[in-house]
Amino acid sequence: MKTQVYKLDGTAAREIELADAVFNREPSEGSIYHAIRNELANRRVGTASTKTRAEVHGSSKKPWKQKGTGRARAGDRKSPVWVGGGKIFGPKPRDYSYRLPRKVKRLAVTSILSLKNQGDCLRVVEDFTVQSGKTKDFVAAVSKIATGERTVIVLGGEDALIRRAGRNLPWLSFLAWNRLAAHDLFYARRLLVLEGAVGKLNALLGGDGGSTEGAA
């Protein structure tokens, strides 16, 4: 399929070819769910920790004799049923991350790109940079195509200046064409794909070959 390439002033410049397998396929809701769940799980730090009765500081002495007091029997003050005692089955440091099949990552990314394209949230923009690296210059340059909504810009190459110019904007994030995150793509209200990234995405995700490691 073909779509318009827009200039920074919001006017159409020319047409560009988008691979149907990447930008116009039937979305797979299941793969999107699993890709986002996988990314969120991989971000978890997993440092929550509680103490068991063996780790709680305190005496192991029996607080009173077993029989004859009329009270319930007690072994020590570190029992989980006592205030200040250990925790039963509490969280311990663990690794929540897991691997997702490459084909599921690829399907999730192409499904999200197709959803955004079909929902008129995706726009191909001419390649540009911000030579000064200043946020105010970046905002002035994209004022016609980005209006403060949650926006993701997909870069066709590594551009330190444009990243530096936009990193202070809370509504904006950048993604490299070969490091696409399903979570960021899915929740973006506006997706701007630079012209230089389109051909690379067509080649990476449009065929059967190629690695998608980190592409979702």
pTM for this structure? 0.83
Q: Please name the residues in contact with 36: beta carbons below 8 A apart, sequence gap of 6 or more.
A: 108, 182, 183, 186
pLDDT (tens digit, 9 = 90+) per residue, 52-101?
999 999 889 999 999 999 999 999 999 999 999 999 999 999 999 999 99
Within 10 angstroms of residue 184's Cβ, the number of other Cβ atoms is 18
**What pLDDT is attached to residue 35?**
97
Say yes or no to pLDDT of 216 above 80.
no
pLDDT (tens digit, 9 = 90+) per residue, 139-185?
999 988 888 899 999 999 888 999 999 999 999 999 999 999 999 99
Q: Please name the residues in contact with 149: beta carbons below 8 A apart, sequence gap of 6 or more.
A: 171, 189, 190
**What pLDDT is attached to residue 176?**
95
**Phi first, then psi: what are they for 37, rounded to 5°?**
-60, -40
| DSSP conformational letter for 191 | E
Higher pLDDT, 207 or 40: 40
Say yes or no to pLDDT of 215 above 70.
no
Dump the DSSP string for 32-91: HHHHHHHHHHHH---------TTTS-S--S-SS-SSSSSSPP-S-TT-TTSTT---SS--
64-94: buried (b, 16+ CB within 10 Å) or exposed (e) per residue?
A: eeeeeeeeeeeeebbbeeeeebbeeeeeeee
The DSSP H or E segment spanning 16 is strand 12-17
Tokens representing 36 are 């986002």
The residue type of 206 is G
Q: Is 30 helix (H, G, I), strand (E, B) or coil?
A: helix
pLDDT (tens digit, 9 = 90+) per residue, 98-132?
999 999 999 999 999 999 999 999 999 999 999 99
Sheet with 122-125, strands from edge to edge, namely 12-17, 2-6, 122-125, 190-194, 151-155, 172-176
Domains of the chain: 2-44+99-206 (3.40.1370.10), 46-95 (no CATH)
